[in-house]
């Protein structure tokens, strides 16, 4: 039986189901308990699980992240919420220097099964310090996994998988702008393996790869292109690290053209990595240069027109696709 729920509810169900199953799982973060979540993801969880397992922290990202990392090494399975990933930068030391390296440094003795999650990327006119998309930055780090879902169904299955089955640190990146998105999600439990991209729309002429809320741009562009007789295949990465380049390659073998849409800054971004991998593994299949639409090579400014000019959109994506199709207009 499926019913329609919002993204935030899908995340809540994933956490709650896993917490019911496993005593070792707990949720910690700013405003997660009494306030019911800054974005209401954890609404009602304090009431169900009590203050031992749904824990409000002071504003001390480095400190509570460290507590999570330590607890994960010592037999627990923490879920740590960052109000947004922008604030996780304060805790990067614990993630990069400790969590990601524990297993290596200890010669395989000590692992760190922990999930960090929260909103990521821009969310309107929030200014430079609240608008960074961090997938590429974290994906650069060996020892951790990076997940960035685009819809409630995927989010639930991936988060459940991360909490229950992943023994390594997982960075789970959501979007404040998607928390209200609704979709049919089964009532029965399900899990989605990390590291598997998903073809969200089949097509034959060009492959468009994206993830997180930029999937809306990718799918929007595909719909526009269809009107003009161009059949775009749209792939949702879902996991950034590990990166399922094989699924992209299979698609490119068919379409011979690849366009990537992402909200990262361009330098050493997810698209950079994909472009490298596909030219290496699929050079003979490409009929055009791989192209991308990224965020501008700059912090995001506040003014509405500057936000619009800096972020990928359907129009720019359609234009780039037409360029790789070598169609005029």
Partner 1 sequence: MATKFSKETYLYWYELMQLIRQFELMAEEKYKMEGKIRGFFHAYVGQEAIAAGCMTATRAEDLFITAYRDHGLALAKGISADSCMAELYGKATGCAKGKGGSMHFFGKKENFYGGHGIVGAQIGTGTGLAFAEKYRGTDNVVLCYFGDGAARQGILHESFNLAMLWKLPVIYICENNNYAMGTSVERTSNVTDIYKLADAYEMPADMFDGMSAETVHEGISRAVKRAREGGGPTLIEIKTYRYKGHSISDPQKYRTKEEVEEYRSKDPIAQVMHTILENKFATEEDLKVIDERIDAVVNNSVKFAEESPWPDDSEVLKDIYVDQNYPFIVD
Ligand X SMILES: Cc1ncc(C[n+]2csc(CCOP(=O)(O)OP(=O)(O)O)c2C)c(N)n1
- Residues designated as active site: 61, 130
Residue 276 interacting with partner 1 (CB under 8 A): no
**How many residues at the interface with ligand X, by CB under 6 A?**
6
Give the range of 69-77, 121-129, 188-196, 202-210 binding partner 1 by CB under 8 A.
121-129
DSSP letter string over 292-308?
EE---SSPPPSSHHHHH
Q: Checking phi first, is residue 66 left (phi over 0); if not, alpha (psi -120 to 50) or beta?
A: alpha
Give the range of 19-27, 59-67, 101-109, 231-239 binding partner 1 by CB under 8 A.
59-67
Judge contact between 118 and 39, C-beta under 8 A: no
User: From ligand X, partner 1, none, which one binds at residue 74 (CB under 5 to 8 Å depending on kind)?
Assistant: none
Q: Which of 2, 4, 23, 60 lies at the binding interface for partner 1 (CB under 8 A)?
A: 60
138 by Cβ neighbours in 10 Å (0-12 / 13-18 / 19+) ranks as: buried
Judge contact between 55 and 32, C-beta under 8 A: yes
Q: What gap in Å lies between CA 129 and CA 85, rounded to an integer?
A: 11
The two structure tokens encoding residue 150:
């685009």
Q: Which of 73, 86, 212, 239 lies at the binding interface for partner 1 (CB under 8 A)?
A: 86
Residue 309 interacting with partner 1 (CB under 8 A): yes
129 by Cβ neighbours in 10 Å (0-12 / 13-18 / 19+) ranks as: exposed
Residue 5's DSSP bridge partners are 183
Q: Which of 24, 67, 87, 199 lies at the binding interface for partner 1 (CB under 8 A)?
A: 87
Q: What gap in Å lies between CA 319 and CA 186, rounded to an integer?
A: 37
Binders in 67-96 for ligand X, by CB under 6 A: 83, 87, 90
Q: What gap in Å lies between CA 202 and CA 222, rounded to an integer?
A: 10
Residue 61 interacting with ligand X (CB under 6 A): yes
Binders in 124-163 for partner 1, by CB under 8 A: 124-130
Contact footprint for ligand X (CB under 6 A): 30, 59, 61, 83, 87, 90
Contact footprint for partner 1 (CB under 8 A): 30-31, 34-35, 38, 56, 58-63, 86-87, 89-90, 124-130, 266-267, 291-294, 296-299, 301-306, 309-310, 320
């Amino acid at each position: 039986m499926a019913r329609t729920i919002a993204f935030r509810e899908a995340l809540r169900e994933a956490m709650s189901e896993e917490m019911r199953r496993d005593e070792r799982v707990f949720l910690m973060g700013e405003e997660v308990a009494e306030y019911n979540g800054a974005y209401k993801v954890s609404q009602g969880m304090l009431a169900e699980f009590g203050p031992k397992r749904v824990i409000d922290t002071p504003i001390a990202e480095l400190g509570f992240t460290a507590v999570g990392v330590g607890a994960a090494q010592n037999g627990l399975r923490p879920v740590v919420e960052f109000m947004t990933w922008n604030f996780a930068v304060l805790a990067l030391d614990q993630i990069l220097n400790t969590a990601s390296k524990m297993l290596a440094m200890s010669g395989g003795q000590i692992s760190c099964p922990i999930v960090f999650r929260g909103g990521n990327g821009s969310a309107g006119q929030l200014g430079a310090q609240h608008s960074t998309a961090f997938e590429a930055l974290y994906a650069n780090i060996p020892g951790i996994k990076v997940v960035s879902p685009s819809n409630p169904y995927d989010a639930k299955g991936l988060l459940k998988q991360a909490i229950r089955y992943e023994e390594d640190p997982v960075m789970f990146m959501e979007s404040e702008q998607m928390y209200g998105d609704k979709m049919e999600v089964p009532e029965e439990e399900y899990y989605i393996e990390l590291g598997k991209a998903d073809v969200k729309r089949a097509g034959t002429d060009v492959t468009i790869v994206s993830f997180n809320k930029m999937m809306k741009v990718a799918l929007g562009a595909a719909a526009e292109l269809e009107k003009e007789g161009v059949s775009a295949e749209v792939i949702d990465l879902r996991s950034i690290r590990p990166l399922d380049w094989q699924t992209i390659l299979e698609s490119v073998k068919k379409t011979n053209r690849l366009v990537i849409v992402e909200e990262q800054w361009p330098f050493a971004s997810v698209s950079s990595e994909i472009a490298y991998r596909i030219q290496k593994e699929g050079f003979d299949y490409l009929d055009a240069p791989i192209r991308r639409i990224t965020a501008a090579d700059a912090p995001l400014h506040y003014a509405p027109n500057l936000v619009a000019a800096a972020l990928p959109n359907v129009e720019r994506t359609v234009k780039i696709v037409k360029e790789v199709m070598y169609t005029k207009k």
